[in-house]
A and B are shown apart, each in its own frame.
Chain A
Amino acid sequence: MAGLEDLYREIILDHYRSPRNRGELETPPAHRAEGFNPLCGDEIVVYVDVDDEGIIEDIKIGGQGCSISQSSASMMSAAIKGKTLGEARKMTTAFKQLMSIHETNVGGDGSESELDPEAEVDTTVKLGDLEALQGVVKFPTRIKCATLGWNTLTEALTLGSAPADPASPIRPKNH
């Protein structure tokens, strides 16, 4: 059993208190996706602006959540800004491996169902500050908090510039 210090590293609390890249981007041209954590009600919105060369020119994060989901999204935004789509995907895979989620590929549905324990850990990807989130693994219920922003990013990049309607809500007829 791990102590609170393993979970709440100083860098995490710093990103929670002073989140980077908070805000919105105009859609289009930016891509937008919403992510929900059905367990705790956290909602996150990711905006990404990708240029013609496939470079992530800008990223903004909206929504509200706990220190783990907010700091993970904040660090993610700082890490992938200016990177290519390929680099962002590699980083997503590496981050999920850090969270003990091994996937054959990062699915467009943002699911974590495709487990592949044999998957090679790509050691060439540097996660930097994000490695402070490693302690989350010892608190299994919080892993979903840490991956919320990343799954939402994946969805934003997969959806393209179409207006996001991820949940296709079931509505009463006529109303």
Chain B
Amino acid sequence: MTKLDIARIRADFPILNQRQRTGSGIDRRLVFLDSAASSQRPTQVIEAMDQLYQHSYANVHRGVYQLAERATQAYEGARAKVAAFIGATTPDEIVFTKNATEALNLIAHSWGRANLSEGDAIVLTIMEHHANIVPWQMLAAERGIEIRWIPVTDQGELDLSNLDRILDGAKLLAFTSMSNVLGTLNPVEELVAAAHAHGAVAVIDAAQSVPHLPTNVVDLGADFLVFSSHKMLGPTGIGVLWARQELLEAMPPFLGGGGMILNVTTDSFTTAEVPAKFEAGTPPIAEAVGLGAAIDYLEDFGMQNVRRHEVELTAYALRTLTERLGDRLTIYGPPEPAARGGVLSMALKDVHAHDVSQVLDEHAVCIRPGHHCAKPLMRHFGVAATARASFYIYNDTDDVDALADALVAADEFFAL
């Protein structure tokens, strides 16, 4: 284990090295604590995309000229990096999508329509992001399938006491590996094993965990896993669907167009092999290269070290915020830092999250107020909105101290 050199890391992120002039005219260091929504990206990622556009760009899988060959190699090289990063057995199991949301829609649309019909049941959890709820509700509205829900405890963990009853006869279990609201790390292997014991396939929404923890899809035993590049130091516009190859091969295509076909006549078409079958149209080429560079950057530190840094920072944050704000501040989710990711959903007594964020902006502290696209979970806790701070590789204890200072100021500002 190596301790991360945060000052050195921060130097790679020019966007973090800026100051913000607040409304009252004070100049403050920008404190970015919203990586769970979207992370920042290092110069290495930006330069990799820049290099491609300046020296090696052409459409992929088409031209026979050298430039096209180099672009194709860069694009497929990124796929291989992604495969290795999550322990996939072959790059063919990696499908590039627009984002994790599109990957989940792909599964619901393609696997779902081919395998689910009226009366079938699928299982979700109350702590899902809307991206892992709405595609299934759309399918349910169309096909008349039943959606069952795994409840959540008051500590923000999945209540698995009735898991066998809930999974009984279900065809699919889709769940998040880490809550984007609470930071809760769910028992992925246990859930996958339970799904398989009931003959259901397991879909993992890993948008929050892949950027922060070591991931190995073979060890997890899953069937599908999705994540987004922009939450892991990569560019926007590209996400990843991983699925076991035999599942991908059996699934009908999602979007139709160029690149996903073997042959087209006026009567019909035949699909290309996976993963091309699921990548219709010109793909996000530079974005894939950027994602590859982000993976290189993260692997340079090692995901174990990234995780350790975030556990330490989360522990420091839980301690500091409790010391500074006491019972004025509620922090949702598991109290044990090792049981959660670096995501803190907070409620300041008698101050709405929107107002908290407004005062925090005055301190140049960027957090996210709102329902975090997880309204069923918010309803469980009886709140309309929380103020969420989230950490990444470039955050340190100074950032946490700035957050605590700003929260104290917000508390004082709204005090009766």
Interface residues of chain A, those whose CB is within 8 Å of chain B, are 1-4, 6-8, 13, 17, 39-43, 64-68, 70, 139, 142, 145, 170-175
Residues A65 and B141 in contact, CB atoms below 8 Å apart: no
Residues B137 and A172 in contact, CB atoms below 8 Å apart: yes
Q: Which residues of A contact B146 (CB under 8 A)?
A: 172, 174-175
Residues B354 and A68 in contact, CB atoms below 8 Å apart: yes
Q: Mark B351-389, 1 if CB is under 8 A from A, else 0.
A: 111110011001000000111000100100000110000
Residues A3 and B370 in contact, CB atoms below 8 Å apart: no
Residues B414 and A142 in contact, CB atoms below 8 Å apart: no
Residues B414 and A13 in contact, CB atoms below 8 Å apart: yes
Residues A172 and B352 in contact, CB atoms below 8 Å apart: no
Q: Which residues of A contact B118 (CB under 8 A)?
A: 173-174
Asked whether any CB of chain A lies closer than 8 Å to the CB of B68, the reply is: no
Interface residues of chain B, those whose CB is within 8 Å of chain A, are 21-25, 118, 137-138, 140-147, 351-355, 358-359, 362, 369-371, 375, 378, 384-385, 413-414, 416
Max chain B CB contacts within 10 Å: which of A41, A42, A66, A174?
A: A41
Residues B137 and A66 in contact, CB atoms below 8 Å apart: no
Residues A41 and B370 in contact, CB atoms below 8 Å apart: yes
Choice from A7, A8, A41 contacting B375 with Cβ under 8 Å? A41
Q: Which 6 A/B pairs are nearest by Cβ-Cβ distance?
A: A172-B140, A41-B371, A66-B354, A173-B144, A66-B352, A3-B23
Q: Which residues of A contact B351 (CB under 8 A)?
A: 67
**CA of A53 to CA of B376 in the docked complex: distance in angstroms?**
42
Given the known interface contacts A1-B22, A66-B353, A142-B358, the answer about A41 and B384 at a Cβ–Cβ threshold of 8 Å is yes
The residue on B at minimum CB distance from A63 is B384
Choice from A4, A40, A43, A171 contacting B413 with Cβ under 8 Å? A4
Residues A6 and B384 in contact, CB atoms below 8 Å apart: no
The residue on B at minimum CB distance from A171 is B141
Q: Which residues of A contact B416 (CB under 8 A)?
A: 17
Q: Which residues of B contact A6 (CB under 8 A)?
A: 23
23 pairs across A/B with beta carbons < 8 Å? A3-B22, A4-B359, A4-B413, A8-B413, A39-B370, A41-B378, A41-B385, A42-B354, A42-B385, A66-B353, A66-B385, A67-B352, A68-B354, A68-B355, A70-B352, A139-B358, A172-B144, A173-B145, A174-B118, A174-B146, A175-B140, A175-B146, A175-B147
Given the known interface contacts A6-B23, A13-B414, the answer about A64 and B138 at a Cβ–Cβ threshold of 8 Å is no
**CA of A170 to CA of B134 in the docked complex: distance in angstroms?**
10
Q: Which residues of A contact B142 (CB under 8 A)?
A: 173
The residue on B at minimum CB distance from A41 is B371
- Beyond A40-B370, A173-B142, 16 additional contacts (C-beta under 8 Å) are A1-B21, A2-B23, A3-B22, A3-B23, A3-B362, A4-B24, A8-B355, A40-B385, A41-B378, A66-B352, A67-B354, A68-B355, A172-B141, A174-B118, A174-B144, A175-B146
Q: Which residues of A contact B352 (CB under 8 A)?
A: 65-67, 70
Given the known interface contacts A41-B370, A170-B141, the answer about A1 and B413 at a Cβ–Cβ threshold of 8 Å is no
Q: Which residues of B contact A173 (CB under 8 A)?
A: 118, 140-145
**CA of A139 to CA of B414 in the docked complex: distance in angstroms?**
18
**CA of A42 to CA of B359 in the docked complex: distance in angstroms?**
18
Given the known interface contacts A41-B370, A170-B137, A172-B137, the answer about A4 and B358 at a Cβ–Cβ threshold of 8 Å is yes
A9 to chain B, nearest CB (A): 13
Residues A40 and B23 in contact, CB atoms below 8 Å apart: no
Choice from B23, B137, B353, B385 contacting A4 with Cβ under 8 Å? B23
B227 to chain A, nearest CB (A): 24
Residues A1 and B23 in contact, CB atoms below 8 Å apart: yes
**CA of A98 to CA of B33 in the docked complex: distance in angstroms?**
33
Q: Which residues of A contact B140 (CB under 8 A)?
A: 172-173, 175
Q: Which residues of A contact B353 (CB under 8 A)?
A: 40, 66
B64 to chain A, nearest CB (A): 48
Given the known interface contacts A4-B362, A6-B23, the answer about A172 and B145 at a Cβ–Cβ threshold of 8 Å is yes
Residues B355 and A67 in contact, CB atoms below 8 Å apart: yes
Q: Which residues of B contact A41 (CB under 8 A)?
A: 370-371, 375, 378, 384-385
The residue on A at minimum CB distance from B137 is A172
**CA of A61 to CA of B413 in the docked complex: distance in angstroms?**
26
**CA of A173 to CA of B147 in the docked complex: distance in angstroms?**
10
